[in-house]
Amino acid sequence: MHVIFMGTPDFSVPVLEALVDAGHEVAAVYCQPPRPAGRGKKDRPTPVHARAVELGLEVRHPVSLKTSEAQEEFAALNADIAVVVAYGLILPQVILDAPTKGCLNIHASLLPRWRGAAPIHRAIMAGDAETGICIMQMEAGLDTGPVLLREGTAIGEEETTAQLHDRLSEMGASLIVTALRHLDGLSPDVQPVEGVTYASKIDKAEARIDWSRPAVEVDRQIRGLSPFPGAWSELKGQRVKVLASRLAEGQGEPGEVLAENLTIACGSGAVELLRLQRAGKGAQDREIFLRGFAMKPGDSF
């Protein structure tokens, strides 16, 4: 097929690669513009931009798709279909209608649950047992279109957003190739009204750990916000991010260190901290962290 690809972050890269590997002709790649990053604040291309250049594909990064110029340039590609995954711009109706077969979105949840910006984070933070990928025919509404294909997967008891992100990215890449291969034979499944939830964008204010909450909620917060923005707490006057955890046995004052393996008491139950990061330092497994930051039972966050 003659395909327009629209995506921006790391999550989108395996999808672009899968389309190329499957033999589809990628007419152009649309992504967010390069933005200042790093210590020098030099413009850095997005992950999709960088990979598209390596693949020898044309890259476009308009600031908006609402201008007549951008819309005419898009239509002039005469695409059969557009594949959209974590692009970052709203697609006006004229853009949605331009490809012969419309626009397909790869969404990282089992719609209608977790429409919106942060479905992976929210699924873990809510304690969902399962999530997945939906291939959706795009409409003007936020993730409201009919679903053409879906595939579920269990969320691991200790899985972080980073780990689930990578698994779902690969699932999406595989599923879109299947969808395009069988597109004419797929029946759109209209989303039910019941069960709609919205995955609002993660606010950094959600990241501070409240140890008085039940351990199960603290554990979900830690895993759901890993690696970004990273759940954090103050320890000996320093801000420390906690990037991996699991539920543990124990009871004590909220925030109290119960054991040398960094089992921490919560409002009820306890969590065992597995990976941490001090301000200005890299992430470290618990054993390495403790070598430079000794903790003992009775200490507290």
Number of C-alpha atoms within 13 angstroms, CB side, residue 60? 18
Q: Give binding residues for (6S)-5,6,7,8-tetrahydrofolate as ranges.
A: 109-112
163 and 213 together in one domain: no
Q: What confidence tens digit (pLDDT) does each residue in 281-298 have?
A: 999 999 999 998 888 899
Domain containing residue 288: 204-300
247 and 124 together in one domain: no
- Backbone phi, then psi, for 60, in 5-degree steps? -125, 140
112 and 218 together in one domain: no
Residue 34 has a pLDDT of 93
- The answer to which of 28-42, 115-129, 140-154, 257-271 has the lowest mean pLDDT is 28-42
Q: What confidence tens digit (pLDDT) does each residue in 32-76 have?
A: 999 887 777 788 999 999 999 999 999 999 999 999 999 999 999
227 and 185 together in one domain: no
- Backbone phi, then psi, for 230, in 5-degree steps? 90, 115
Helix/strand/coil for 210: coil
Give the separation between CA 249 and CA 184, rounded to whole angstroms. 53
187 and 211 together in one domain: no
Residue 38 has a pLDDT of 72
pTM of the model: 0.94
Q: Which of 156, 184, 199 lies at the terminal end of a domain, its last residue?
A: 199
219 and 167 together in one domain: no
50 and 24 together in one domain: yes
Q: Which of 158, 184, 199 lies at the terminal end of a domain, its last residue?
A: 199
Give the separation between CA 120 and CA 173, rounded to whole angstroms. 16
Q: Give binding residues as ranges.
A: 109-112
As given in the structure block, the two tokens for residue 294 are 């000794």
Asked whether the beta carbons of 131 and 165 are under 8 A apart, the reply is no
Asked whether the beta carbons of 134 and 110 are under 8 A apart, the reply is yes
85 and 210 together in one domain: no
Closest to 300 (Cα-Cα) out of 222, 233, 227, 242 = 233
Give the separation between CA 254 and CA 270, rounded to whole angstroms. 9
Mean pLDDT of the chain: 96
pLDDT band for 95, please (50, 70, 90 cuts). very high
39 and 163 together in one domain: yes
Give the separation between CA 147 and CA 43, rounded to whole angstroms. 37
Closest to 138 (Cα-Cα) out of 65, 42, 209 = 65
113 burial level (CB within 10 Å; 0-12, 13-18, 19+): buried
57 and 188 together in one domain: yes
Tokens 């790869």, located at residue: 106
149 and 268 together in one domain: no
- Helix, strand, coil distribution of the chain in percent, nearest 5: 30, 30, 45
Q: What confidence tens digit (pLDDT) does each residue in 142-165 have?
A: 999 999 999 999 999 999 999 999
In total, how many domains does the chain have? 2
64 and 211 together in one domain: no
Q: Which of 173, 199, 225 lies at the terminal end of a domain, its last residue?
A: 199
Hey, which bits of the chain come out as E strands? 2-7, 25-30, 35-37, 42-44, 59-60, 81-85, 103-107, 115-116, 130-137, 147-154, 198-199, 231-235, 238-248, 257-259, 263-265, 270-278, 284-285
Q: Residue 153's beta-bridge partner residues?
A: 131
CATH of residue 133's domain is 3.40.50.170
CATH of residue 243's domain is 3.10.25.10
As given in the structure block, the two tokens for residue 282 are 């890299």
